[in-house]
Amino acid sequence: MYGLRRFGIKLGLDTIANILDVLGNPQKNFPCIHIAGTNGKGSIASSLSTILNLSGYKVGMYTSPHLVKFNERICINNIPVLDEEVVESFAAVKNLHSEDREPTFFEYTTAMALYVFAKHKVDWAIIETGMGGRLDATNIIEPEVCVISNISKEHQAYLGNTIHEIAGEKGGIIKENIPIVTGVKQKSAISKLEEIAKEKSAPIYRLSKDFSVRRNRKNGFSFFGIENNWKQMQTGLLGSYQVDNAALTLATCEILIKKGANLPLETIKSGLLTNKWPGRLDIVSKDPLVMLDGAHNLAAVKNLAGFLSENMSDSKITLVTGMLDDKPFKDILEALLPVCSKLILTRPKIDRSIPPEELLPIAEKIVKDITIIPDVGDAVNYAIANTKKTEAVCIAGSLYVVGEAKEIMETGTIKFSYMQI
């Protein structure tokens, strides 16, 4: 399947529609929640999956990319499917297309996920877009509710150069008469989504307008919803921005309840608090503190920098980072490096990764203590070995770097030894 990546990104629905039609349109066998946006999609998807599952529903969840293993993209009740199911679903989808071109990696994966969900007879499927929305392969589904988390500039070669244009692409998931929940804040994005919603006669519910939150302690808040006020809520995910993601999750729950879903308040609270989403402000060690964060675009990096500044200002932070060539790496480094004391530049094992030497001229204007270690595993080992127990290591900049780091930690190849300083 990884070889399919050579076909690149091809947006459009004809190929996926053809594949699913031959498969018997498995996506019509279960109700869906469709989630788009620049950041927060996975946090919202996993929270909804946890809440629905704790409420007694069998839940399929489709997200991308994966951190360590492909199976993470297709989950049943938050558990990645088995290798055998990946093989079986690929065999079911392979060679079903009759178009002139080979389906892309993402088209194959989307069809596989929908096939698996139908086979498992899930009660709900939570589907995250890959890129944009309007022409994303996932837009073949007919959801019960749509969520657009937030919007910032990304994938501009495909989605447009302005927030208004990108909002139009992400707003393409809006369907006739289907409610839409959104956390977008820019006036141009709001106007575009409201325009599409009006054309589709779709009720739209906006954060800070139709529902809101009031923070009262770390990750704790009161939710003033579309129809309900829920107090003493708390998200288990770190970062103040996760409260906004939680608000979108809760507003979506309100809509699901109105549509007949049985979601008790105590279960909603429990699901929100116990939900985990690996690789996002993910503390994997406390002695020294080692944090993984898949921040890989400017908006997410600013959130990470804000968290480090607010919560770890007393600790010296060593940043381990590597980036891909389609990211605004200069802006990302300038946003993240000021809160770090040391920097280790590395390179994930993907052909789009940037040689560390190209990042060095930008980085050395901000941080003086810089080391280049091309292999991610070696870089993480070096960072930990040269960090006091009272200091911290942050691994960020690319989901591929975070994935490689997470894998070596899970397989036990990380060396927790300390330099005497």
Residues 185 and 152 sit within 8 Å (Cβ to Cβ):
no
Sign of CA dihedral 172, 178, 181, 184: positive
| CATH code, domain with 11 | 3.40.1190.10
**pLDDT at residue 146 greater than cutoff 70:** yes
Which of 104, 112, 161 is CA-nearest to residue 135?
104
pLDDT score at 417? 39
Domain match, 213 and 312 both: no
Tell me what the mean pLDDT of segment 222-241 comes to: 94
Residue at which a domain ends, from 219, 242, 274: 274
pLDDT, one tens digit per residue, over 299-349 is 889 999 999 998 887 889 999 999 988 888 899 999 999 999 999 999 999
Domain match, 247 and 319 both: no
Residue linked to tokens 């690996």: 278
In a domain, 417, yes or no: no
Sheet (strand 289-292) strand order? 282-286, 289-292, 392-396, 317-321, 342-345, 369-372
Residue at which a domain ends, from 256, 274, 292: 274
Provide the number of structural domains found in the chain: 2
In a domain, 151, yes or no: yes
Say how far apart CA 90 and CA 102 lie, in whole Å: 14
Domain match, 296 and 229 both: no
Domain match, 266 and 307 both: no
**pLDDT at residue 226 greater than cutoff 60:** yes
In a domain, 378, yes or no: yes
In a domain, 7, yes or no: yes
Domain match, 286 and 262 both: no
Domain match, 250 and 137 both: yes
Q: Cβ-count burial of 389 within 10 angstroms (0-12 exposed, 13-18 middle, 19+ buried)?
A: exposed
pTM, whole model, 2 decimals?
0.90
Q: Which helix (H) or strand (E) holds 282?
A: strand 282-286
In a domain, 10, yes or no: yes
pLDDT score at 157? 61
pLDDT score at 336? 93
Domain match, 228 and 326 both: no
199 Cβ contact partners less than 8 Å away, ≥ 6 residues apart: none
Domain that holds residue 298: 282-410
Angle between helices 265-274 and 242-258 (to 10 degrees): 150
Residue at which a domain ends, from 220, 251, 274: 274
Q: Which residue has the higher pLDDT, 413 or 48?
A: 48
pLDDT score at 217? 74
In a domain, 419, yes or no: no
Sign of CA dihedral 37, 89, 276, 213: positive
Over pLDDT 70: what percentage of the chain? Answer: 93
Domain match, 194 and 84 both: yes
| CATH code, domain with 307 | 3.90.190.20
In a domain, 308, yes or no: yes
**pLDDT at residue 416 greater than cutoff 50:** no
pLDDT, one tens digit per residue, over 373-396 is 999 999 999 999 999 888 999 999
**pLDDT at residue 421 greater than cutoff 50:** no
Q: Which residue has the higher pLDDT, 12 or 283?
A: 283
Sheet (strand 212-217) strand order? 212-217, 220-224, 229-234
Domain match, 365 and 391 both: yes
Which residue intervals of 209-337 are DSSP H helices?
242-258, 265-274, 298-311, 329-336
In a domain, 95, yes or no: yes
Q: Which residue has the higher pLDDT, 416 or 138?
A: 138
Residues 346 and 322 sit within 8 Å (Cβ to Cβ):
yes
Buried b (16+ CB within 10 A) or exposed e, 202-215: bebbbbeeebbbee
pLDDT, one tens digit per residue, over 156-184 is 565 777 999 999 999 999 999 999 999 99
In degrees and rounded to multiples of 5, residue 387 shows phi and psi of -125, 130
pLDDT, one tens digit per residue, over 90-139 is 999 987 765 667 788 999 999 999 999 999 999 999 999 998 889 899 99
